[in-house]
Amino acid sequence: MQELIRRATSHPNAPFSGPASPIASPLAKTSKSALRRIAPLHLTRRTPPPPPPRPPPPKKSKKMLELEEKWEMELEDEVEGWWALTDEERQYWRRNKRNKELGYDD
């Protein structure tokens, strides 16, 4: 690894090639005394407030509610053992049905 770093910095236009640039770089090693001058965080600093809650989902229109009810009835007929499925599995089927009917691509 050191050999790779040595090769990379040996090029004349390398960004971190050492003494070629007389300008002090902000990426240069800082001294301990400079770090001590940075003010520490206040001891009684409060934690920031939590982010605001997510806005509620928009209300579904009457037409959309009717469509979802129709899809639910179709799924009951199409899917074998619909009543035995868990809530997650039913949600998965509903989502797929909605995406198929509304033309969303996965």
pLDDT (tens digit per residue) in 12-61: 666 655 555 555 555 556 677 776 777 667 777 778 899 999 999 999 99
Identify the pLDDT of residue 39: 67
Q: Per residue in 84-94, pLDDT tens?
A: 989 999 999 99
Residue of 4 and 106 predicted with greater confidence? 4
CB-based contact 21:13 (threshold 8 Å): no
Identify the pLDDT of residue 23: 55
pTM exceeding the 0.75 threshold for the entire prediction: no
The amino acid present at 92, given as its one-letter code, is Y
| Spatial separation of the C-alpha atoms in residues 101 and 94, rounded to whole Å | 10
Identify the pLDDT of residue 54: 95
pLDDT (mean) for 66-88: 91
Per-residue tokens: 98: 């909605």
Angle at the Cα of 51 from the Cα atoms of 49 and 52, rounded to 5 degrees: 110
